[in-house]
Homo-oligomer: A and B are copies of this chain.
Amino acid sequence: MRISARADYAVRAAAELAASDQDGPVRAEALATAQSIPYRFLEGILSDLRRDGIVVSQRGAGGGYRLARPATQVTIADVIRAVDGPLVFVRGTRPSDLEYQGAAAPLLRVWVALRANVRMVLEEVTLADLVTDGLPEQVRLLVQSEEAWENA
């Protein structure tokens, strides 16, 4: 279960946008250097975000990107779905479209539970939470324990 570079970059760029919210549109290159993301690559990512209505763009001199909605209303899940599609899928298909036979039958419910727990984090944290460093209580609790930081 990997988080792709696209997803990671997208969230970081979006966070940067949320941070400089008042200052008018932000150029893609400014985002790229602020977060050490390859400029050309980021352009494509921002394009995805725009197509999904996460971000609005302004062309020409003085142009750049802004969030389409207030940062309190954009979740990390929104951003990731815009660039990578569904949050969790098994062998290319959504969990709920799977069918298992015999001893593996209950496995379906495990994947659904897994997805639910992934959502619990990614749909709860907004860009505003990121920039103010005010993560939701549930998320904060998850990170508190020592073992959460161990690499198993």
Contacts and interface: CB of A to CB of B under 8 A. Distances in A.
Given A15-B107, A35-B104, A76-B110, 15 more contacts: A1-B1, A1-B87, A1-B89, A2-B88, A12-B107, A15-B104, A16-B102, A103-B131, A109-B143, A112-B148, A113-B139, A113-B143, A114-B118, A116-B147, A116-B148
A94 B148 contact: no
B5 A152 contact: no
A142 B96 CA distance: 14
A18 B103 CA distance: 8
Interface size bracket, A side: 35 or more
A122 interface: yes
A4 B119 contact: no
Interface in A125-152: 125, 129-131, 133, 135, 139, 142-143, 145, 147-149, 151-152
